[in-house]
Amino acid sequence: MANTGQPDHTTKASDNASPAEISPARTAPLQSDRMRYRHLLRHPVWILRGLIELARARIALRSLRASDIAAFNTQSAQAERETAPDAERIAARVALIIPLLARFVPWRSDCVVQAIGARRWLAAYGLSSTIHVGFDRSEESIFEAHAWLVYDGAVVTGGEIERFRSLMGHEGAARD
């Protein structure tokens, strides 16, 4: 087969299955993503806000030091803020939109950018959150760093954090 620059799509026996033969577990992620996209398209303001926060976080990352993240966490913990009546809904919206948009923006929006952008968005609503920075050392001695954002004990950005050990972030705010 000639290299056309397109990915090689090989077929498997299961790829030729009729829709009735496809298990729900196989189609659930696809349907879930479609529903997320449709839901977001009804709220262009959310998309715009997410894009703005990711862009601002990416720009801020250029001059950011580790002590700045610690200062964000200290300010957030000390701030006397009123909790928005729909705080959980706002945090869930941010948790959905930021990682989803980060996959499509033309700049690098890895875990640190997502955590900073989501933190700024939550702070705009008066919601206190904590950025955690952690590491994992696998059996092959590969050092891997990761950042995630925690609001009210729940991970907002950063996905699955179980294998990471938190180096920075308030004690008790997330699994250490």
Once rounded to an integer, what is the mean pLDDT over residues 15-24?
A: 37
Q: 146-159: per-residue pLDDT in tens?
A: 999 999 889 999 98
Once rounded to an integer, what is the mean pLDDT over residues 112-121?
A: 94
Query: pLDDT higher for 106 or 74?
Result: 106
Q: Which helix (H) or strand (E) holds 10?
A: none
Q: Which helix (H) or strand (E) holds 136?
A: strand 130-137
Confidence of residue 21 (pLDDT cuts 50, 70, 90): very low
Percentage of residues in the chain with pLDDT exceeding 90?
35
Q: 43-65: per-residue pLDDT in tens?
A: 889 999 999 999 999 999 988 88
Alpha-carbon distance of 69 to 129, in angstroms, equals 12
Residue 74, helix vs strand vs coil? helix
Q: Would you say 176 and 166 are in contact if contact means Cβ atoms under 8 Å apart?
A: yes
DSSP 31-60: HHHHHHHHHHHT-HHHHHHHHHHHHHHHHH
Residues pairing with 151 in the sheet:
154
Angstrom CA distances, 132 to 19, 83, 109, 127, 165, stand at 43, 21, 16, 16, 9
Q: 77-100: per-residue pLDDT in tens?
A: 666 565 678 888 999 999 999 999
What radius of gyration do the chain's Cα atoms show? Answer: 19
DSSP 67-100: HHHHHHHHHHHH---PPPTTHHHHHHHHHHHHHH
